């Protein structure tokens, strides 16, 4: 029987296929005693399994690169923790099997993390994944993770761990459905990067039976279980219509009456440039330079290495605009040589610009490298600071840019509500603003962007978030300066129209979203976008805002 479920659509498109679940968590090994003479052999088995899992995680990280590499390397270090290994040895010495000793040692460590404050408690899932991999190897059962399949499928999981998703094959994974996560979670960002439809925060997703045929609409968040032929045909026709609209929309971003809205790409480094160019990006609206630093969390990359990396990106956009965000370290992107290890709540501590101002030599080197990389190129370089709270922060960054001899526009990211509320003050020191809607939502609603239980508060359609966007754009207009959006909100085509109506001057997103946004913007006038924005702001919830904007744009 056909039924309909609803989660949060986070990556556009339609996928129809059979459900394949992530490998299930390893069952608890039986507790049994071993003879004393077997202890040394069991200790050897445990060590071999630990080293094999650590090596596998490191190899996956090397292949994936970027942020996934840093996360996987951290998991490998968890597996090799000397105290954990010593605890495993002790448990085996008093009679446990290797697999039971690993299970119990990790359980004890897990309890310590769970009670050690919010940030460390957030690492429990990573620890569980490492434990499951080691125990699976010892038991000789399939490793938990992405299913083996020769046929394309829809991947269903409680959530997607970096170790599982870093090397996914998009020719086999038709789409994602997860029970956890939100619009700005790693699962959502990965789906958009791969260009596959995805729905997150779907209650009961893991209860979908293996092999069940489902249709995933990544735009609406709907899941159709056992869809009939008529529903399949309807969805496929809708997908074909969208594809045709995408193909017909080319050139610079603009509304139907010619109001220009530059469409830019979010990238992590030179490897992302080709996809951005293929999608028709008019430049780069967010160059996340932290991925270069995450290659080695023990020390900063040399100025020479930074110059080489930055120049590769700048050369790809002659006469184009490239907005570089200086290092955003801290919180979920810790670096051993920069970020303190004992912060009780790193998301509210020393991160972003705060970190750089405490380590001025790191900021000075990065700004100098950007200046050298841009020498002799016709590119329009703009450099912005993350986590700017007020005018004092903005001035400190602008002063550092000038001291480094940087010939570029200096800007500030608006990710903290105070920066939006006092945007006109901030703009006395910098030349542009860029709204990071992911963190702005997180800090506005006190809602962790990785926690599915609060996903409704991470929804960029929340009217309070739209109010903050409007405050920032009005301040920029009053100062005769620009205010773009580089958060994931820009990748929602209808919300892109609302943001345009709020006065946003450019939109930056993952390359896969650019054609959808370009095609949708081209259907409406600026006046329609402004009316849709006003309707959305007048609503009381994200769902009401979305529906109100849709009603305006569809002429209802």
Residues identified as active-site: 186, 486
Strands (E) located in 211-288: 213-217, 222-225, 263-267, 283-288
Check residue 121 and give left, alpha or beta (phi > 0: left; psi -120 to 50: alpha): alpha
Cα distances (Å, whole numbers) of residue 511 to 25, 28, 35, 216, 475: 34, 43, 59, 21, 29
Q: 108: buried, middle or exposed (CB in 10 Å: 19+, 13-18, 0-12)?
A: exposed
Q: Do residues 510 and 462 touch, judged by C-beta distance below 8 A?
A: no
The per-residue DSSP string of 102-151 comes to HHHHHHHHHHHHHTS-HHHHTTHHHHHHHHHHHHHHHHT-PPSSSPP-SS
CA atoms within 13 A on the CB side of 144: 23
CA 118, 123, 124 angle in degrees (round to 5)? Answer: 100
Q: Which of 87, 88, 96 is nearest to 36 (CA)?
A: 96
How far, in Å, CA of 542 to CA of 525, rounded? 23
Distance from the first to the final alpha carbon of the chain = 33
How far, in Å, CA of 79 to CA of 58, rounded? 11
How far, in Å, CA of 315 to CA of 320, rounded? 10
**Given the structure tokens 């080489």, which residue do they identify?**
308
Helix axes 542-553, 493-501, angle to 10 degrees: 80
């Amino acid at each position: 029987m056909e039924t309909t479920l609803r989660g949060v659509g986070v990556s556009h498109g339609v996928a129809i296929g059979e459900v394949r679940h992530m490998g299930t968590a390893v069952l608890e090994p039986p507790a049994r005693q071993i003879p004393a003479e077997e202890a040394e052999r069991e200790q050897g088995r445990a060590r071999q399994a630990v080293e094999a899992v650590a090596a596998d995680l490191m190899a996956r990280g090397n292949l994936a690169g970027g942020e996934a590499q840093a996360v996987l390397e951290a998991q490998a270090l968890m597996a090799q923790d000397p105290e954990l290994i010593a605890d495993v040895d002790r448990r085996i010495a008093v009679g446990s099997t290797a697999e039971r000793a690993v299970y119990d040692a990790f359980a004890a460590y897990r309890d310590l993390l769970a009670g050690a404050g919010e940030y460390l408690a957030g690492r429990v899932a990573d620890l569980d994944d490492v434990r499951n991999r080691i125990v699976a190897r010892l038991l000789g059962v399939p490793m938990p993770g992405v299913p083996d399949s020769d046929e394309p499928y829809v991947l269903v999981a409680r959530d997607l761990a970096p170790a599982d998703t870093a090397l996914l094959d998009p020719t086999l994974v038709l789409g994602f459905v997860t029970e956890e996560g939100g619009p700005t979670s790693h699962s959502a960002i990965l789906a958009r990067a791969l260009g596959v439809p995805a729905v997150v925060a779907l209650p009961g997703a893991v209860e979908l039976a293996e092999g069940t045929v489902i249709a995933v609409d990544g735009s609406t968040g709907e899941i159709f279980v056992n869809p009939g032929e008529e529903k399949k045909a309807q969805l496929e026709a809708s997908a074909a219509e969208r594809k045709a609209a995408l193909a017909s929309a080319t050139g610079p971003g603009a509304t139907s009456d010619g109001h220009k809205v530059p469409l830019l790409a979010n990238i992590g480094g030179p490897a992302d440039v080709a996809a951005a160019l293929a999608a028709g990006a008019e430049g780069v609206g967010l160059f996340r330079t932290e991925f270069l630093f995450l290659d080695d969390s023990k020390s900063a990359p040399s100025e020479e290495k930074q110059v080489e990396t930055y120049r590769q990106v700048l050369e790809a956009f002659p006469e184009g605009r490239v907005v570089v965000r200086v290092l955003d370290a801290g919180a979920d992107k810790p670096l051993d040589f920069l970020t303190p290890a004992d912060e009780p709540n790193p998301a509210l501590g020393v991160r972003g610009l705060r970190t750089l101002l405490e380590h001025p030599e790191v900021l000075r080197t990065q700004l100098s490298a950007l200046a050298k990389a841009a020498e002799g190129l016709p590119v329009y370089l703009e450099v912005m600071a993350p986590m700017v709270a007020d005018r004092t922060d903005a001035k400190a960054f602008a002063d550092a840019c000038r001291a480094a001899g940087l010939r570029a526009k200096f800007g500030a990211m608006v990710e903290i509500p105070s920066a939006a509320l006092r945007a006109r003050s901030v703009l006395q020191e910098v030349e542009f603003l860029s709204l990071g809607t992911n963190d702005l939502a997180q800090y506005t609603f006190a809602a962790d962007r990785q926690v599915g239980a609060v996903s409704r508060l991470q929804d960029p359609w929340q009217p309070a978030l739209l109010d903050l966007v409007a405050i920032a754009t009005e301040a920029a207009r009053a100062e005769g300066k620009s205010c773009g959006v580089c958060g994931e909100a820009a990748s929602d085509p209808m919300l892109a129209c609302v943001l345009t109506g709020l006065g946003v001057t450019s939109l930056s997103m993952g390359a896969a979203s650019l054609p959808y946004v370009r095609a949708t913007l081209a259907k409406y006038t600026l006046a329609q976008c402004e009316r849709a924005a006003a309707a959305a702001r007048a609503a009381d919830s994200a769902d009401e805002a979305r529906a109100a904007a849709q009603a305006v744009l569809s002429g209802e």
